[in-house]
Structure 1
Amino acid sequence: MHNLALNRYRGFTLIEIIVVVVLLATLAIYSFSFLGIGSEIVASVSARTQLVAEQRFAIERLTREASNSVPRSSRANADCLEYMPLKGTNVYLSLPRPGPGGANPMVVVTPYMPGNSVAGSYVLVYATGPEYIYGNDESRRKLVTAAADDSPQNGLSTLTLSASPGEFFTDSPSRSFYLGGAPVSWCLNRATGQLIRFTDYPLTLSQPSLGSLVTNALSQEVMAVDLVNDASPGQRPFLVSEPTLQRNNLIQIFFAFASSEEGAAAIEITHEVYVPNVP
């Protein structure tokens, strides 16, 4: 009976306690390791999702603006995309032309331009290339100085033009015209990783460079950050392809984003914008 009582109250030995502690410690180390890996994955996914969300606004705005630009006005260099914003379009009934028609007024079907004024816009007729849109040749581009309702014919307007020459060189096959605003450029500054939108600068035949826009543009707005495109041809942010019989004018956009966190992988975004090519 005495030995039975002793066995009933017997505890763990020191060796057993040490073995249990070591096993529990090992289990805890592995458990915390798995939890740490899980936390890193969640943090990485969250950071990438936030990075994409922060840049989505700039990409959507660029897409909306570029797709609503004057036909054939899009052009790109190593860093920048330039286009002329489209303010309105319609058809004309009368057009000043060389010869006996030089004194004809420009009478148009009044374009719908919410929030915009026709005066101060550029009117373009059959402008088939950048030289007619941006250059000194004003034979297919005029500046509108005033617009007046053509009474008593409702829905028509007479445009007062300022340009040299005062006549349009040619008619449009569809008798259509486009109203454009001051040019806009989106540029990648590789040194700072910023995507910048430039406005309020003059028309130039040659597309302005990033350095020229930084100096001459009156308005500059940072639209996105953390871009890491390098200088290789495959990393060019913008590429404009001429229209063909099978497709419209095509703008290809490529952005590589990377978080400022050390070791963060870059996110590459490729996007295409189609622009109507009927001048």
Structure 2
Amino acid sequence: MRTRGFTLIEMILTIIVGSILVLGIAGFVELGSRGYADTVARQRIQTQAKFVLEKMARELRHAIPNSLAISTDTASQQCLSFYPIVYSGFYALDEADEKQLSFIVGNVSGSTTALNFDGLTMIINPSNQDEFSSGAGIALSGSDTTISLSSPLAMASQSVAQRFYMYQNMVEYCLNYSAQTITRNLVQVADSLESGSFSYDEPTLQRGGVVHLSLGLAQNGESSHFEQDVQVLNVP
């Protein structure tokens, strides 16, 4: 009995068929890997946008009313700035001496357990952001809840609800179109920025101020757009 192996033609055909099968399998594997990578990239963009919008919304909701301003420094950058509340509450003027102002802290931000007003400024009934840098506020120190004013509060400066706010530092979010980044006080919080804008509707008698946030993030040729409106909850 004679044994017979592959002929040269059969061997070549076997190699060709095997190569085709390997290439087909590799194509499916590559397609699956590429799909997984694209899914991870999309998930990263979605998570990043959700984080930035949620962070901005939380801070804006508890910003001092009328402390918001939008500036466009250059064609490649737009910034939204505001003053977060450190303490807030209600005040009362002494009927016998209108220069004596007492206040009750009704809202303590963060995990602060003891009152400390060092480095803080108190402002009452602000009408725009310029008042925060023009000396309209009252510098505070220590923890005394009664202060002496240099002059009585003018009627126009008083709050109808007798509310006061204390603040320290301004917060500024910027959309850097050329660098494709979003920054908070010059610290990057997001990348892959393709487009975006800030707009602000002034408060009315029926509602507080509303900030419109629009972000467009892009990666691997795909763009995702996000819109959110945030209402400033506090009133002067």
Q: TM-score, normalised by structure 1?
A: 0.67
1:130 maps to 128
2:171 maps to 184
C-alpha change, 1:228 and 1:95, in structure 2 (3 Å) is: farther
Q: CA deviation at 1:179?
A: 1.9
1:266 maps to 223
1:91 maps to 90
Q: Secondary structure at the match of 2:122?
A: strand
1:145 to 140, 143, 147: 140
Q: Secondary structure at the match of 1:258?
A: strand
More strand by share: 2
- Greater radius of gyration (CA): 1
- Checking the alignment, whether the CA contact within 8 Å between 1:255 and 1:269 is kept in structure 2 is yes
Query: In the TM superposition, what whole-angstrom CA distance separates every residue of 1:119-150 from its partner, at most 9, and x where no partner exists?
Result: 433323232x21664363x6xx431334664x
Quote the Cα distance in structure 2 between the aligned partners of 1:37 and 1:265.
Answer: 18
Q: Secondary structure at the match of 1:276?
A: coil
C-alpha change, 1:55 and 1:132, in structure 2 (3 Å) is: closer
C-alpha change, 1:131 and 1:43, in structure 2 (3 Å) is: closer
1:159 to 127, 143, 147: 147
- Checking the alignment, whether the CA contact within 8 Å between 1:69 and 1:86 is kept in structure 2 is yes
Aligned-partner residue type, residue 172 of structure 2: S
Q: CA deviation at 1:56?
A: 5.0
1:21 maps to 15
Aligned-partner residue type, residue 249 of structure 1: G
Q: TM-score, normalised by structure 2?
A: 0.77
Percent identity between the two aligned chains? 23
- Checking the alignment, whether the CA contact within 8 Å between 2:208 and 2:232 is kept in structure 1 is yes
Q: 5+ unaligned residues in a row in structure 1: which ranges?
A: 150-156, 199-219, 230-234
Q: CA deviation at 1:53?
A: 3.9
Query: In the TM superposition, what whole-angstrom CA distance separates every residue of 1:141-161 from its partner, at most 9, and x where no partner exists?
Result: 431334664xxxxxxx21244
Query: In the TM superposition, what whole-angstrom CA distance separates every residue of 1:151-200 from its partner, at most 9, and x where no partner exists?
Result: xxxxxx212446xx6523333222222222232211122232232223xx
Q: CA deviation at 1:116?
A: 6.0
C-alpha root-mean-square deviation of aligned residues, in Å?
Answer: 3.1
1:66 maps to 60
Q: CA deviation at 1:268?
A: 2.8
Quote the Cα distance in structure 1 between the aligned partners of 2:5 and 2:94.
Answer: 109
Aligned-partner residue type, residue 184 of structure 1: V
Quote the Cα distance in structure 2 between the aligned partners of 1:116 and 1:42.
Answer: 52
1:80 maps to 79
1:254 maps to 214
Aligned-partner residue type, residue 268 of structure 1: H
2:233 maps to 276
Q: Secondary structure at the match of 1:44?
A: helix
Quote the Cα distance in structure 1 between the aligned partners of 2:53 and 2:105.
Answer: 32
C-alpha change, 1:131 and 1:275, in structure 2 (3 Å) is: closer
Query: In the TM superposition, what whole-angstrom CA distance separates every residue of 1:37-66 from its partner, at most 9, and x where no partner exists?
Result: 111111122233234445654443333222
Is 2:155 the counterpart of 1:169? yes
C-alpha change, 1:131 and 1:62, in structure 2 (3 Å) is: closer
Aligned-partner residue type, residue 232 of structure 2: V
If asked which structure has higher relative contact order (CA below 8 Å, sep 6+), I would say: 2
Q: 5+ unaligned residues in a row in structure 2: which ranges?
A: 73-77
